[in-house]
């Protein structure tokens, strides 16, 4: 269907792609895997006509093509769904889906437009009011609109960049069903994702890129996660996690007790964590894990809760109270709740503790502010061009490092982390795992929610599993097993015991 031969691209003196080769067959779902900076997005933009290549050949059905713009690529049947949406918030769902056709006729038949848009959304397995403004939709619903928009064309090659990053499990399941249906109709699909489980569930073949070079193409059925990670990073999957078999003894360790916390309208429960411990919380989406973290942090009202550090009662009624008490939180939605994307990296780190860098006269000590931020970004091994660059200029993994760094700025004793590596590539994950390990080794108590079982088992000292707002069980490190975690998450423990 499409064949990429020795394609290269450079920006100034920086070589982004070097002699990349890729072949995607008709009726195939082909994954592209690689760390941030591997060249995945650049290659996709070249295929879609958004960026011009410096060298190499692209063949479509055996004929050489050279797309000078995205319109030419669309005419040839190439559709792309970027990670950053290209929707018009003020327009309706239907208008966004058929935006490119609104000028085709002098008079728009609105009933026909709404009917066509509704049919397209339903064929994808979703329900949306097509007259609703896109601004009123959730992020996951906007993703559905982007997919529908791409499918209005006669697509022969569909490229998707991290499409499931904003979708829940049920929505992802529907997306996969749609992609399989398109594959069965002969559409070639290029699928970019950092989630290895997704690739093994969905894709026929996987090509690994590293530093702008094609490393290898794997038949999915004949490979393993370990082989993919080895190709990407040069080390095995198990080597991504730090050794937590022997916990370091923490002098003057504190015990945090969070009691009488009720979520999802269920009975209250209590959780305890110690300095230097990583307590993992597992469970399915909607089990109450995030709600528990928000309750502890004071983001949601829970007047009956009792939080103690050793024997000292902490009165946490708001996030401001939590920060004062040395409790930090890294939320699940990094872009909307974790960091201020339009502000500089410097400001994002300083924002939790301006008191520390403010002089008596009320002015900020800019030298101290820069020295402090520089120290934390270096400690986190954050890749950045300047402290004054906006947070939005960083990759997902480096954004997450900055969000973690701001809690070092307040000497947090307890850190709540919700989905630490969501939307982060495999290489950056390894660095974040090491950071979490080092924070705990330095004496910080950490409660970490994750939907990734391997992540939970690789980082945690204990794991609590939640279901429907209740703690179903607790596993010590010696008891960790994916089956045990899953059984607790779905409430199938009794069946296991009967067996």
Report pLDDT digits (tens) over 55-110. Answer: 999 999 999 998 988 889 988 999 898 877 788 999 999 999 998 777 767 788 88
**Mean local confidence (pLDDT), 475-484:** 92
**Mean local confidence (pLDDT), 297-316:** 93
List, for residues 215-270, the tens digit of each pLDDT value.
999 999 999 988 998 888 777 666 788 888 877 888 889 999 999 999 988 999 99
Length of the chain (residues): 499
Q: Which residues of 274-308 are buried (b: 16+ CB within 10 A; e: fewer)?
A: bbbbbbbbbbbebbbbbbbbbbbbbbeebeebbbe
CATH architecture of 2-235: 3-Layer(aba) Sandwich (3.40)
Q: Which residues contact 327 (CB under 8 A, 6 or more apart)?
A: 296, 297, 314, 316, 412, 413, 414, 415, 416
**Mean local confidence (pLDDT), 472-498:** 81
Q: Which H or E run includes 293?
A: helix 289-297
For the cut 50, the answer to whether the pLDDT of residue 208 exceeds it is yes
- Tell me if 58 sits within 8 A of 3, measured CB to CB: yes
- Tell me if 184 sits within 8 A of 214, measured CB to CB: no
Mean confidence (pLDDT) of the chain: 87
Q: Are strands 213-219 and 205-210 parallel, antiparallel or unpaired?
A: antiparallel
What CA–CA distance (Å, rounded) separates 83 from 80? 10
For the cut 80, the answer to whether the pLDDT of residue 133 exceeds it is yes
**Mean local confidence (pLDDT), 421-439:** 84
**Residue 496 — very low, low, confident or very high, per pLDDT cuts 50/70/90?**
very low
Q: Are strands 414-418 and 445-449 parallel, antiparallel or unpaired?
A: parallel
Nearest to 18 by CA among 26, 27, 6, 28: 6
**Mean local confidence (pLDDT), 42-54:** 91
For the cut 70, the answer to whether the pLDDT of residue 7 exceeds it is yes
**Mean local confidence (pLDDT), 40-62:** 91
**Residue 368 — very low, low, confident or very high, per pLDDT cuts 50/70/90?**
confident
**Range(s) of the chain covered by CATH 3.40.50.300:** 2-235, 255-490
For the cut 90, the answer to whether the pLDDT of residue 312 exceeds it is yes
What CA–CA distance (Å, rounded) separates 313 from 329? 19
For the cut 70, the answer to whether the pLDDT of residue 497 exceeds it is no
**Residue 494 — very low, low, confident or very high, per pLDDT cuts 50/70/90?**
low
CA distances from 353 to 315, 348, 349 (A): 20, 10, 8
What CA–CA distance (Å, rounded) separates 446 from 437? 9
Beginning with the edge strand found earlier in the chain, give each strand of the sheet holding 306-309 in spatial order: 269-274, 255-261, 306-309, 312-314
First-last CA distance in the chain? 50
**Residue 383 — very low, low, confident or very high, per pLDDT cuts 50/70/90?**
confident
CA distances from 211 to 42, 162, 394, 399 (A): 12, 19, 17, 20
- Tell me if 219 sits within 8 A of 25, measured CB to CB: no
pTM, rounded to two decimals = 0.69
For the cut 70, the answer to whether the pLDDT of residue 493 exceeds it is no
Higher pLDDT pick, 41 / 461: 461
The DSSP code for 248 is: P
CATH of 255-490, one of 1.10.3720.10, 3.90.1200.10, 3.40.50.300, 3.20.20.100: 3.40.50.300
């Amino acid at each position: 269907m499409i064949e990429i031969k020795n394609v290269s691209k450079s920006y100034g003196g920086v070589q982004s792609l070097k002699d990349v080769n890729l072949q995607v067959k008709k009726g195939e779902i082909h994954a592209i895997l690689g760390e941030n900076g591997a060249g995945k997005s650049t290659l996709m933009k070249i295929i879609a006509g958004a960026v011009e290549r410096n060298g190499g050949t692209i063949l479509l059905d055996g004929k050489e093509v050279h797309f000078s713009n995205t319109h030419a690529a669309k005419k040839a049947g190439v559709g792309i769904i970027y990670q950053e949406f290209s929707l018009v918030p003020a327009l309706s769902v239907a208008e966004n889906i058929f935006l490119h056709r609104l000028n085709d006729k002098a008079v728009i038949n609105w009933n026909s437009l709404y009917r066509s848009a509704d049919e397209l959304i339903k064929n994808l397995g979703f329900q949306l009011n097509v007259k609703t403004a896109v601004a009123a939709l959730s992020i996951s619903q906007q993703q559905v609109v982007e997919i529908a928009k791409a499918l209005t064309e006669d697509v022969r090659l569909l490229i998707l960049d991290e499409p499931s990053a904003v979708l829940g499990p049920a929505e992802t399941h529907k997306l996969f069903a749609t992609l399989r249906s398109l594959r069965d109709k002969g559409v070639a699909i290029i699928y970019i994702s950092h989630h290895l489980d997704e690739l093994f569930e969905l894709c026929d073949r996987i090509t690994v890129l590293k530093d702008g070079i094609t490393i290898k193409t794997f038949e999915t059925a004949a490979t393993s996660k370990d082989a993919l990670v080895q190709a990407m990073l040069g080390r095995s999957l198990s080597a991504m996690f730090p050794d937590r078999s022997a916990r370091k003894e923490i002098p003057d360790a504190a015990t945090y007790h969070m009691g009488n916390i009720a979520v999802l309208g269920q009975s209250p429960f209590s959780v305890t964590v110690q300095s230097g411990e990583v307590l993992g919380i597992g469970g399915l989406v909607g089990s109450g894990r995030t709600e528990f973290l928000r309750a502890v942090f004071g983001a949601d009202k829970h007047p009956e809760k009792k939080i103690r550090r050793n024997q000292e009662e902490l009165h946490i009624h708001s996030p401001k109270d939590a920060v004062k008490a040395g409790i930090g939180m890294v939320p699940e939605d990094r872009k909307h709740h974790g960091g201020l994307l339009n502000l500089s990296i410097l400001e994002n780190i300083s924002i939790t503790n301006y008191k520390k860098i403010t002089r008596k006269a009320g002015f900020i000590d800019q030298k101290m502010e820069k020295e402090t931020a520089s120290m934390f970004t270096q400690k986190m091994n954050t890749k950045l061009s300047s402290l004054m660059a906006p947070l939005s200029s960083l990759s997902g993994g480096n954004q997450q490092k900055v969000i973690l760094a701001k809690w070092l700025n307040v000497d947090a004793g307890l850190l709540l982390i919700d989905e630490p590596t969501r939307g982060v590539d495999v290489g950056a994950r390894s660095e974040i795992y090491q950071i979490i390990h080092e924070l705990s080794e330095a004496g910080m108590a950490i409660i970490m929610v994750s939907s990734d079982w391997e992540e939970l088992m690789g980082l945690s000292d204990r794991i609590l599993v939640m279901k429907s707002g209740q703690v179903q069980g607790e596993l010590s490190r010696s008891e960790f097993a994916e089956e045990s975690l899953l059984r607790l998450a779905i409430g199938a423990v009794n069946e296991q015991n009967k067996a």
